[in-house]
Structure 1
Amino acid sequence: MSDSTPAADPAKTPGMSPEAILKGTGKSWAEWLELLDKAQGTTMTHTELAAYIAKNFEVSGWWAQGIAIGYEYDRGMRDRGMTSDGYATNASKTFNTPVSTLWQFFADDQLRSQWLEPDLLSPTSATEPKTFNAKWNADNSRISVNFQAKGENKSSFGLQHRRLPSQEHIAPTKAMWKSKIAVLAELIKNSAG
């Protein structure tokens, strides 16, 4: 690697840490930046960049997308938190409860209303006990939640709130979810009680 190749700025890289990108792809962020600069990556659209990575390197489509996003962040081609359909923020939490119970706290209107005001969202689709999707009524943004069993009585979810109108909406939305998830955690703890 040449000394003139800038190293990836950790504050600009996506959710993947330098350790994760190296372990998952066999290359560091600095190596990916150099390779994509040589391919004139800044002249490519996101779709072209991800396709180039998938075609020319031994990585899955998922990794190709992540590498492309990281490159776009680092090279100023994409704002922090920007996705293909607006801005997004994420939240996740692990609970000492079966995945089917955790899923019900999202999918069942009555259970969900105990920790999230009923008028905030309109469910759009769900697959028990794996996914829950909804429209956020305040601004027509969307939430997608994926659930995972981590044992008989342990589970987690990963939530993405996307289509946020601007980067300025990321921090307050993240804070709102942190607050709501704290209420959910207390509710689940008390119901297991």
Structure 2
Amino acid sequence: MESPAEISEAVGAEMRARLQETLARRAELLGGGADARAEPSDKAATAASPVTSTAVSASASTSAAAASAGEASKHEWVAPPMHSDAAIRAQTGQGWDDWIDAIDAGVGRDAAHPRIVEWVMANSAQNGWWSQGIAVSFERMTGRRLAGQMPDGTFTANRSRTLPVDREVLRALIADDAARDALLGFETEFRSKVASKTYKVLIARDAQPFDGLLFTFDAAPNGRTKFAIAHEKLQVFDEIELWKAHWGAWLDALELALA
């Protein structure tokens, strides 16, 4: 296997043209007007911004998909929930209509995301993971959040790949201050302790802050690693697919360089 610097240079060279295309497309998306941008809240604890008309239009196909999948509902969903009605009913004893009615009558539709989670945990037997899922799904269905949207109104794009190398190899690549810029194609700032389970990296172009990347490394059988990238703080809904495609190509280049 090549050195971290050689791997980083190989990936960077392979992705150079693709990154320019991605950035050009991103510029087009962000130039679509203020109504197309996510409006982050002043505090993480405040409620997520209502979904804009642009975002609602983007989610129309997901709502139709939920209907075609047989999700009968008395409420009109802006976007589908994280789990099917059958799955949530099997877990909690209540369907999504019941949960929407309960949260509306309990903590209220305008409550901040953490408050909804707290209310679900306090008023049901669900653990933190399921309570988060119920809160996120409630926000999606009622138009407060789209798939991939965070409580502050921004979006996250996720990609993962199981790679045929030990996770320490990948951790060393991301933690390498000398080679990381070439590897990712951005000016980077490592914001985690080397011993952390996940690595947070801030990225910039021409000294202008961009977004954040969160890397996770999970051991897989036969010395492999499930390597995941979460590209955070995206400003518009359509950036999700743009960056998913970009990081998918980046994972292709990385896998080739590691071979």
- TM-score class, shorter-chain normalisation, is 0.7 to 0.9
* 1:157 and 2:224 aligned: no
Displacement of 1:36 in angstroms is: 2.4
Instruction: Name the CA distance, whole Å, in 2 between partners of 1:96 and 1:24.
Output: 36
* 1:59 and 2:126 aligned: yes
Q: What TM-score do the two structures reach when normalised by structure 2? A: 0.60
Q: Residue 6 of structure 1 corresponds to which residue in structure 2?
A: 75
Q: Residue 238 of structure 2 corresponds to which residue in structure 1?
A: 168
Displacement of 1:108 in angstroms is: 2.2
Displacement of 1:59 in angstroms is: 1.9
Q: What TM-score do the two structures reach when normalised by structure 1? A: 0.77
Instruction: Name the CA distance, whole Å, in 1 between partners of 2:87 and 2:214.
Output: 23
Q: Equivalent residue of 1:134, what SS?
A: strand
Give the conservation status (yes or no) of the 8 Å contact 2:107–2:116.
Answer: no
Q: Equivalent residue of 1:63, what SS?
A: helix
* 1:147 and 2:217 aligned: yes
Instruction: Name the CA distance, whole Å, in 2 between partners of 1:144 and 1:71.
Output: 25
Correspondence 1:40-119 to 2 at 5 A: 41-85=108-152, 86-109=154-177, 112=180, 115-117=183-185, 119=186
Instruction: Name the CA distance, whole Å, in 1 between partners of 2:247 and 2:192.
Output: 20
Displacement of 1:171 in angstroms is: 2.1
Instruction: Name the CA distance, whole Å, in 2 between partners of 1:148 and 1:4.
Output: 38
Greater strand share, structure number: 1
Instruction: Name the CA distance, whole Å, in 2 between partners of 1:4 and 1:112.
Output: 48
RMSD, matched Cα: 2.9
* 1:179 and 2:246 aligned: no
Instruction: Name the CA distance, whole Å, in 2 between partners of 1:95 and 1:23.
Output: 35
Instruction: Name the CA distance, whole Å, in 2 between partners of 1:28 and 1:173.
Output: 33
Instruction: Name the CA distance, whole Å, in 1 between partners of 2:136 and 2:142.
Output: 10
User: Alignment identity in percent?
Assistant: 26
Instruction: Name the CA distance, whole Å, in 2 between partners of 1:156 and 1:95.
Output: 6
* 1:133 and 2:200 aligned: yes
Which of the residues 91, 102, 105 maps onto 1:35? 102
Q: Which amino acid in structure 2 is aligned with residue 62 of structure 1?
A: W
Which structure would you say has the larger RCO, counting Cα contacts within 8 Å and 6 or more residues apart?
A: 2
Displacement of 1:77 in angstroms is: 1.4
Query: 5+ residue gaps in structure 1?
Result: none
Give the conservation status (yes or no) of the 8 Å contact 2:145–2:151.
Answer: no
**1:16-68 CA-partner distances (Å, limit 9, x unpaired):** 34276567656554443343244364132222211101111122223222211
Distance change in 2, residues 1:116/1:41 (3 Å) = same
Q: Which amino acid in structure 1 is aligned with residue 144 of structure 2?
A: M
Instruction: Name the CA distance, whole Å, in 2 between partners of 1:99 and 1:20.
Output: 33
Instruction: Name the CA distance, whole Å, in 2 between partners of 1:25 and 1:180.
Output: 40
4+ runs deviating over 6 angstroms: none
